[in-house]
C-alpha cells in the first residue's frame, strides 16, 4: 500500500506480527497439506435444527495465504466460515459434529470459550458495520477497549497501526474523531477490517467483503487482502469468480453442503478435477 508522501511524516509500513505458533514459509504459500495448517476442519458437519447444512467437510487451510471459498448460494460456504469462529452458534438450533483445529488446537473443546476463539479468528462481514455511536478512532480500537485494554498509548499505537494496515490511515488521519458513519462505503469496510486487525487475530475471515462495493472500492479491498496475506491467514467467501482467481492462493468449491473440490486456485480455475467445479467456474450453473 502506498504510504504517506509528506516528508514530515515518513511513516514506515507498521505491521503487527500476529502470534503464529508455526513459522510460515517465506517463499509463498505451500500447497494444502504440506505445511502446518492454520485451520484444519475434520469431518465437519453443521446442522440447523434438522437441516443438515454442512456435510462431513474436511480441509486444511495453510497459514499466511488467501483461501477462497466459492459456490452457489445456500451451499454452506458462509456457514463453514462462521463455524471457524463459532459465530454460527448464535443460531440457537445450531449443532456441529467433527473437529476444527486452529493451529492444532481444537476450538470446540469443552474448556474453550467462544469469546476466546473469536479473539484469535477475526471476521469482516458483507455489509460494513462500523458502530454508529463511535468515532473512526473508537471504532478501530473498540475490540481492545471492550476487552479491558486501558493503556492509552497502546490504544493510540494500535489504532494507527491497524488503520495503516487497512490502507485507511492517510484518508482519515485528520479526522479521527469524526463519526464512522461519515465515511464512504468502501472506507467503512476498510475501517471494519482495521477494527478486526486491531485485536491481532491469527486468522481473518471475510464474508463477501466487497460484494456491496463499487469496482474502485473493491479493487482497494483486493489490494489490501493481497498485502495482508503476508502476515495473515485469510479465508474469504466470494460470489465473484474473478475475485477468487485474482486474490486467492487456494480455492475450495462447495456445493449443496459438501466440499466438491479443493486445491490451488490456478488448478481449480484452469483444470478442475470434477465436472461440477468446471461447470460452476465457467458459469454454466450457479
Partner 1 sequence: MQPARHHWRKFKNASMQAVTCLCALLVVVPLGLIFYHVLKSGFSSVNWAFFTQLPKPVGEAGGGMANAIGGTFELLGLAALLGVPLGVLGGVFLSEYGSLRLNWTVRFAADVLNGVPSIIWGMVVYALVVVPMKGFSAWAGGIVLGMMMVPLIMRTTEEVLLLVPNGYREAALALGIAQWRTVLQIVIRTALKGIITGILLALARVAGETAPLLFTAFGNRFWNHHLSDPIAAVPRQIFDYAISPYEDWHRQAWAGALVLLLFVAIVNVSVRVLTRDRFAKRS
Residues near partner 1, by CB under 8 A: 85, 87, 90, 115-120, 122-123, 125, 127, 129, 131-133, 142-143, 146-147, 179, 181, 192, 195-196, 199
Nine cell digits for residue 190: 476498510
CA-CA distances (angstroms) from residue 93 to 39, 55, 78, 83, 203?
25, 17, 17, 14, 26
Q: How far is the CB of 147 from partner 1 (least distance, A)?
A: 6
Indicate the residue among 35 and 189 with the shorter CB distance to partner 1.
189
Q: Which is nearer to partner 1, 118 or 262 (CB)?
A: 118
Q: Which is nearer to partner 1, 76 or 122 (CB)?
A: 122
User: Nearer Cβ to partner 1, position 64 or 86?
Assistant: 86
CA distance 199 to 16: 10
CA distance 102 to 114: 13
In Å, how far from its chain's centre is CA 82? 10
Cα atoms in the Cβ-side hemisphere of radius 13 Å centred on 227 = 20
Instruction: For the CB of residue 109, give the shortest distance to partner 1 in the complex, in Å.
Output: 17
Nearer to partner 1, 51 or 133 (CB): 133
- Indicate the residue among 175 and 275 with the shorter CB distance to partner 1: 175
Q: C-alpha distances in angstroms, 43 versus 99, 111, 217, 232?
A: 7, 21, 37, 25
Please, are residues 253 and 260 in contact by the beta-carbon 8 Å criterion?
yes
Report, in Å, the least distance between residue 200 CB and partner 1.
Answer: 11
Residue closer to partner 1 (CB basis): 64 or 195: 195
Q: How far is the CB of 241 from partner 1 (least distance, A)?
A: 26
Handedness of CA 255, 105, 200, 3 (dihedral sign): negative
Distance CA 77, CA 46 (A): 11
Least distance (Å) between residue 233 CB and partner 1: 16
Q: How far is the CB of 283 from partner 1 (least distance, A)?
A: 30
- Name residues whose C-beta falls within 8 Å of residue 273's C-beta, 6 or more positions apart in sequence: 261, 263
Question: CA 269, 261, 54 angle in degrees (round to 5)?
Answer: 130
What are the backbone dihedrals phi and psi of residue 33, each rounded to the nearest 5 degrees, phi first? 90, -10
Provide the minimum distance between the beta carbon of 123 and partner 1 in the complex, in angstroms, as a whole number.
Answer: 4
Amino acid at each position: 500500500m502506498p504510504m504517506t508522501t509528506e516528508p514530515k511524516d515518513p511513516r514506515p509500513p507498521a505491521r503487527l506480527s500476529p502470534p503464529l505458533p508455526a513459522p510460515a514459509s517465506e517463499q509463498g504459500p505451500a500447497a494444502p497439506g504440506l505445511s502446518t495448517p492454520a485451520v484444519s476442519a475434520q469431518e465437519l458437519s453443521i446442522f440447523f435444527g434438522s437441516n443438515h447444512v454442512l456435510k462431513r467437510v474436511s480441509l486444511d487451510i495453510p497459514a499466511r495465504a488467501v483461501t477462497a471459498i466459492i459456490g452457489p448460494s445456500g451451499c454452506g460456504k458462509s456457514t463453514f466460515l462462521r463455524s471457524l469462529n463459532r459465530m454460527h452458534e448464535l443460531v440457537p438450533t445450531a449443532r456441529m459434529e467433527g473437529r476444527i483445529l486452529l493451529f492444532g488446537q481444537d476450538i470446540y473443546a469443552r474448556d474453550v470459550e467462544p469469546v476466546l476463539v473469536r479473539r484469535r479468528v477475526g471476521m469482516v462481514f458483507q455489509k460494513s458495520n462500523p458502530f454508529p455511536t463511535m468515532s473512526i478512532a473508537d471504532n478501530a480500537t473498540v475490540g481492545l477497549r471492550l476487552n479491558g485494554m486501558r493503556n492509552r498509548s497502546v490504544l493510540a499505537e494500535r489504532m494507527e497501526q491497524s488503520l495503516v494496515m487497512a490502507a485507511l490511515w492517510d484518508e482519515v488521519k485528520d479526522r479521527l474523531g469524526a463519526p464512522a458513519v461519515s465515511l464512504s462505503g468502501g472506507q467503512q469496510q476498510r475501517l471494519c477490517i482495521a477494527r478486526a486487525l486491531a485485536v491481532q487475530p491469527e486468522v481473518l475471515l471475510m464474508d463477501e467483503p466487497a460484494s456491496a462495493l463499487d469496482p474502485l472500492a473493491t479493487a482497494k479491498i483486493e489490494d489490501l487482502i493481497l498485502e495482508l496475506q503476508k502476515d495473515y491467514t485469510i479465508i474469504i467467501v466470494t460470489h465473484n469468480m474473478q475475485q477468487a482467481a485474482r486474490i486467492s492462493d487456494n480455492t475450495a468449491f462447495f456445493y449443496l453442503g459438501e466440499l466438491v473440490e479443493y486445491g490451488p486456485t490456478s488448478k481449480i480455475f484452469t483444470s478442475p478435477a470434477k465436472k461440477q467445479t468446471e461447470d460452476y467456474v465457467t458459469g454454466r450453473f450457479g
